[in-house]
Structure 1
Amino acid sequence: MQDSLVAKKVAYLILSHFDKSYRWFTRITRGAQERFEQGQWQETLHASKERITIYEQSLSDAVAEIYHLIAVHKKDEQFWQALKKAFAIHLEGHPQFELAETFYNSVIGRLFKHRKIENAMMFVLPSRCFLPGQDRHKVVHSFDTTTTVNEMYTSIFKIYRYNIPFEDYQRDMANLEAALRQRLTTEQLASVHTVEILKPTFFRGKAAYLIGKICMPEESLPFVISLQRSDKRMLFVDALLTDRKDLSVIFGFARSYFMADTQHPAEVAAFLQELLPNKKHFELYMALGHYKHGKTVFYRNFLEHMSSTTDKFEAAPGIRGLVMMVFHLPSYGVVFKIIKDEFAESKKITRDHVKECYKLVKMSDRVGRMADTHEYVNFRFPLNRIDPALIEELKATCASSLTFTEDELIINHLYIERKMTPLNLYLQQETDEDKIKNALNELGLCIKQIAMANIFPGDMLHKNFGITRHGRVIFYDYDEICLMHERNFRDIPKSDDPYALDTLSVAPNDVFPEQFEHFIVGKRKLKDILKALHGDLMTSEYWREVQRKCAKGDVQHFTPYNANVRFTR
């Protein structure tokens, strides 16, 4: 009986810490509108970092209190099963029950160092089936479309109000009306019966989005109003987006998490899933900033995929990395990355340094150019699904990270990342000249935008970049990144002495951009295209100018959708 009471007390304690954590998360998220209105862009970056740290802080507090209350390792399996049942009872009617389950899992994971991943003790499977729609009215505004288009927009902006004036309200309403009439045929426009918009505004960086859909009898289309703030502290409508491709890019895996204030995240994620059916559910939770729950949903999705497929894990295609061993399941859209036991002679870094680099990217504005990575501890793979050649390669390169049981391989630390085509393979295989030029232009833009986000990419070999199905180039190798001020960009001295370079004094943090052309891409033809498009990357002055902007605290905004849909101002 005593253990039963203690289990109830611990369950309440865990939920209390979760609720406190979510209130903290909400407070930061709610402040996004004021930061946007005031143009507080540095504060926006700090808020994003703080919100990411909340989870670990709340988790540590909960675990410390549990250790103070009970002798954890003296409790038997019955106690932990009773604890889970008591916690599940608390979740009845809880508006964030799914996030609370993940928090509970994290507590148990921390207590047992992630060695007890089983449904009897944790919510490996959800406690109940969520049926979207029950609380839909709490997260969606519906707008009448029986009036004129202009009147509909007027009613929208009576609800979505901001504490800064429009730069030119009439112009923006005319742009929005013209865009909608241009995108829809007369028949489609006449058949629209509702426009639904999620109640929270989605803030990220220097932009804000109203995200909804146009409902017609036979189909629905995204309906996204993109807002920005001018330097003169005025609001303007930048675009109306009705293409799923544009919306997909906005919710891309290489972008920072949105600030969207809601008490019903499951309903919001379900609505977004309707708009973006090709996105995985875990990606949508991550986009909302619930990256820990996204990891839970990913793991459930992974288990489901494993049960419905038979292919085997194998080494990922491409050139082997010097720091990471990368493998994949051909039928699944992610790669698994393990830090190697030993690095090549050229890599003067440590294992802890690599972890810090990945953490830096997590905390930074990824500006749509750096893939989000998710860290896992004691991740389990069935041995009969791993190609023997991969097992041998893992043993040869990552033995300290591996534990073998009779039927499983347990990897004690790994990163999971969205799968892309390595850029070097793409450029080898592609024959379309326009696509090659676009990829190289994207490569240059990727490097520049990362730099403007205050990150020096370090190792810029094109094998360290991937290209998405939308043709967007993304950076994914972080072991040599650093902040921009940590490098000294120098010119190679001009001299008639052929031996001058031999005596050149070079410090560890010196970088010579003139040499970039020799290693970013290999073939002369590709080098020439890259230089023609982005020759400034090969000059130290370009990099020093970026350093100056970063030092001033300038925060850049890179519009995530196609420039040709932006309204003229």
Structure 2
Amino acid sequence: MKNTIEFTTKNILNDFELYLEEFNKLTALAPEFFKNRQWTAMQANHKKRLRLYKDFIANCRGKIIQEIGEFKNNSTFWLEVKQHFSMIINNRKNKELAETFYNSTIRKTFDNLAVDDSLMYVHEGYNTCDLHPNDDLYYTYPSAWGLQKIIRQIMDDFDFGVKYYNKEEDIQLLVRAVREVILTRYKPTKDTVTQVLKSVFYRNKAAYLIGRTRVGDKWMPFIIPFLHNENGVYVDTMIFDPRIMAHMFSFSRSYFMVKTTIPSQMVSFLNAVISHKQIHELYNAIGFNKHGKTEFYRDFLIHLENSQDQFEIAEGIKGMVMTVFTLPSYNIVFKLIKDHFEPPKDMTRQQVKDKYKLVSLHDRVGRMADTHEFEYFSIPLDRISPALMQELKNTVNSLLIFTEKTLIIKHLYTERKMIPLNLYLESCDLEDAKLAVEEYGNSILQLAQANIFPGDMMTKNFGVTRQKRVIFYDYDEIEFLTDMNFSWKPKAETYEQIYAPTPWYNIAKHDVFPEDFKRFMIGRVDVKPHFLSYHQELFNPDYWSQIQERIRKGELLHAFPYPKEIRFRPEQPA
């Protein structure tokens, strides 16, 4: 058995290293794509990187199963594998990622394995790696240089290899921003210092520098976005607002392409800069979403140990495809695909999974919630409310396994908890309602610009975040916008057509008549006129067709993750 243990351990570590090597190769392409304005290639590369993990795990599993034979579901065997694996990764600076790769491998190899402390890395954390200061992580700029020299040096240190639109003007715009935001509040001292991560964060059409300045006995974080259009590279703005920074790392945003030698050290730096974000969210943001899932689960277990409330059916209108529940004290919902769908829903469980997979690989443009997919997820039976237990048995019974003290759910998704938009509109005041319906329309249109048509656009399928952003979260009917046929409704001419109880014209599967949106999109009487006036383009099929045409021509429509009002040059296209 010893040889089999060594074979298994060696293969897991070898495939992990190959995965990281390929991950880093794809990440390293981002600067060239930015330099050459190859936006379609940038997106394709992002999707390719997202698929890597699953492919390497499948390959690793295939090799192991051929060798281990009878030990496949043997706990004693896997216990020794884990012990040996722990020994050989002990001094690695990315061992937390190696532990997650091991967890994924055993979960895909050992049949129906729920979380097991003895066989898996369950309670370890990202700080298992040393988080010492590292000169390779960031540039340092002492205050003695003066503001002008610091900004000029930052611009020199980050040369994108192409012409600037107006570099001198960029420098002065940054100097003015620092003076207006920081130097009006704090006076630099000999201890004042600025640090900027050496790694550039790439996403869509933008490149971001992330840094912090030690002033007034605390760190003041900042983000500098760069864009590159036909005029050259230019600084688009300088961001100091922690709420905007948090949104840039939001669960509704795609992951960054960013080079990182020691991920835990970058996460530690980001955690000090973007304090609103949890550790698992930061791992997600830098592309290690599988380890982000591990860190999320650890956070969930800690919360479970330190709380007493029961899991309950989620508030809002019950879905026709998903059963949704939550733990009131925890900011997450749990979504299970129902065993049976009531008409008019006509799809399979696998088709619903495919829709969620599509979203996981697509640019979410700040308007679709990220999810984590779990198999054999355990919940203590005594924490499940009677009403929820009955609902689970009625709707997803095929997904349930009961042990003496635990409910094991074969498959579920976790997603950030939000207030359903329909409930929010029932209780908020008029001003908040106006903002919400503006956001609702913006969400739909920004999804369209990313080639996503939501399908079911009822307000119950959208949520409101703590920052009052509206996010789409129901994916079973999404389609690519370019697959849809947007048309004006045929005009009724005869008596029979005018008074027909059902449409008298043929409607194909992908036919959409935006004029009809007016009837169902907003029901609240005092805010509906504002919505209809503010988003008139939503009801015009020609507008939708124009977006389709731009996408078909290969144009990538950039979704700014910060307010356009703070841009230095709002007239410059991305």
TM-score by length of 1: 0.96
Matched with 1:36 is 34
Please show how residues 97-496 of structure 1 align to structure 2 within 5 Å: 97-126=95-124, 129-130=127-128, 133-134=131-132, 136-186=134-184, 188-191=186-189, 193-232=192-231, 234-431=232-429, 433-496=430-493
| Helix, strand or coil at the partner of 1:156 | helix
| Helix, strand or coil at the partner of 1:155 | helix
Stretches of structure 2 lacking an aligned partner (at least 5 in a row): none
| Helix, strand or coil at the partner of 1:214 | strand
Matched with 1:6 is 4
Over residues 384-430 of structure 1, what are the superposed CA-to-partner deviations in whole Å (9 max), with x where a residue is unaligned? 11111100011111111111111111111111001111111111100
Please show how residues 20-99 of structure 1 align to structure 2 within 5 Å: 20-73=18-71, 76-99=74-97
| Helix, strand or coil at the partner of 1:378 | strand
How far apart are the structure 1 equivalents of 2:68 and 2:166?
A: 62
| Helix, strand or coil at the partner of 1:567 | coil
| Helix, strand or coil at the partner of 1:503 | coil
C-alpha displacement at 1:75, in angstroms? 6.7
Q: CA 1:443 to 1:187, structure 2 compared with 1: closer, same or farther past 3 Å? A: closer
| Matched letter for residue 484 of structure 1 | L
Matched with 1:565 is 566
How far apart are the structure 1 equivalents of 2:249 and 2:14?
A: 31
* Aligned length in residues: 565
Please show how residues 524-539 of structure 1 align to structure 2 within 5 Å: 524-539=525-540
Please show how residues 497-512 of structure 1 align to structure 2 within 5 Å: 497-500=494-497, 502-512=503-513
C-alpha displacement at 1:5, in angstroms? 3.5
How far apart are the structure 1 equivalents of 2:283 and 2:391?
A: 34
| Helix, strand or coil at the partner of 2:139 | strand
| 8 Å CA contact retained: 1:88, 1:127 | no
| Helix, strand or coil at the partner of 2:333 | strand
**In terms of mean alpha carbon deviation, does 181-190 or 199-208 score higher?**
181-190
**In terms of mean alpha carbon deviation, does 171-180 or 133-142 score higher?**
133-142
TM-score by length of 2: 0.96
| 8 Å CA contact retained: 2:486, 2:514 | yes
| Matched letter for residue 204 of structure 2 | G
Matched with 2:551 is 550
| 8 Å CA contact retained: 1:336, 1:415 | yes
Over residues 508-537 of structure 1, what are the superposed CA-to-partner deviations in whole Å (9 max), with x where a residue is unaligned? 221111111111222333332211011111
**In terms of mean alpha carbon deviation, does 185-194 or 309-318 score higher?**
185-194
Find runs of 4+ consecutive structure 1 residues off by over 6 angstroms. Answer: none
How far apart are the structure 2 equivalents of 1:178 and 1:400?
A: 62
| Matched letter for residue 52 of structure 2 | I
Stretches of structure 1 lacking an aligned partner (at least 5 in a row): none
Over residues 236-293 of structure 1, what are the superposed CA-to-partner deviations in whole Å (9 max), with x where a residue is unaligned? 0001111111110100110000001111100101111112222111111011111111
C-alpha displacement at 1:131, in angstroms? 5.7
Over residues 106-165 of structure 1, what are the superposed CA-to-partner deviations in whole Å (9 max), with x where a residue is unaligned? 000001145142121111122895265325333222212211211001221222221111
| 8 Å CA contact retained: 1:460, 1:520 | yes
Over residues 413-470 of structure 1, what are the superposed CA-to-partner deviations in whole Å (9 max), with x where a residue is unaligned? 1110011111111111001x22211111111110000011001110000110011111
Alignment RMSD (CA, Å) = 1.6
| 8 Å CA contact retained: 2:93, 2:129 | no
Q: CA 1:139 to 1:326, structure 2 compared with 1: closer, same or farther past 3 Å? A: same
| Matched letter for residue 347 of structure 2 | I
How far apart are the structure 2 equivalents of 1:116 and 1:414?
A: 13
| 8 Å CA contact retained: 2:188, 2:215 | no
| Matched letter for residue 207 of structure 1 | A
Q: CA 1:506 to 1:74, structure 2 compared with 1: closer, same or farther past 3 Å? A: closer
| 8 Å CA contact retained: 2:114, 2:408 | no
How far apart are the structure 1 equivalents of 2:73 and 2:271?
A: 41
| Matched letter for residue 483 of structure 1 | F
| Helix, strand or coil at the partner of 1:236 | strand
How far apart are the structure 2 equivalents of 1:322 and 1:472?
A: 25
| 8 Å CA contact retained: 1:207, 1:226 | yes
C-alpha displacement at 1:540, in angstroms? 1.3
Q: CA 1:359 to 1:25, structure 2 compared with 1: closer, same or farther past 3 Å? A: same
**In terms of mean alpha carbon deviation, does 398-407 or 458-467 score higher?**
398-407
How far apart are the structure 1 equivalents of 2:207 and 2:87?
A: 38
| 8 Å CA contact retained: 1:140, 1:196 | yes
| Matched letter for residue 453 of structure 1 | A
| 8 Å CA contact retained: 1:517, 1:527 | no
How far apart are the structure 2 equivalents of 1:127 and 1:373?
A: 21
| Matched letter for residue 531 of structure 1 | L
| 8 Å CA contact retained: 1:72, 1:111 | no
| Helix, strand or coil at the partner of 2:336 | strand
| 8 Å CA contact retained: 1:197, 1:211 | yes
How far apart are the structure 2 equivalents of 1:473 and 1:400?
A: 33
| 8 Å CA contact retained: 1:108, 1:114 | no
How far apart are the structure 1 equivalents of 2:322 and 2:441?
A: 24
Matched with 2:519 is 518
How far apart are the structure 2 equivalents of 1:154 and 1:462?
A: 48
| 8 Å CA contact retained: 1:273, 1:279 | yes
| 8 Å CA contact retained: 1:4, 1:79 | no
How far apart are the structure 1 equivalents of 2:179 and 2:465?
A: 31
Q: CA 1:424 to 1:116, structure 2 compared with 1: closer, same or farther past 3 Å? A: closer
How far apart are the structure 2 equivalents of 1:63 and 1:320?
A: 38
| Matched letter for residue 146 of structure 2 | T
| Matched letter for residue 415 of structure 2 | E
| 8 Å CA contact retained: 1:12, 1:90 | no
Q: CA 1:109 to 1:429, structure 2 compared with 1: closer, same or farther past 3 Å? A: same
How far apart are the structure 2 equivalents of 1:147 and 1:77?
A: 61
| Helix, strand or coil at the partner of 1:463 | helix
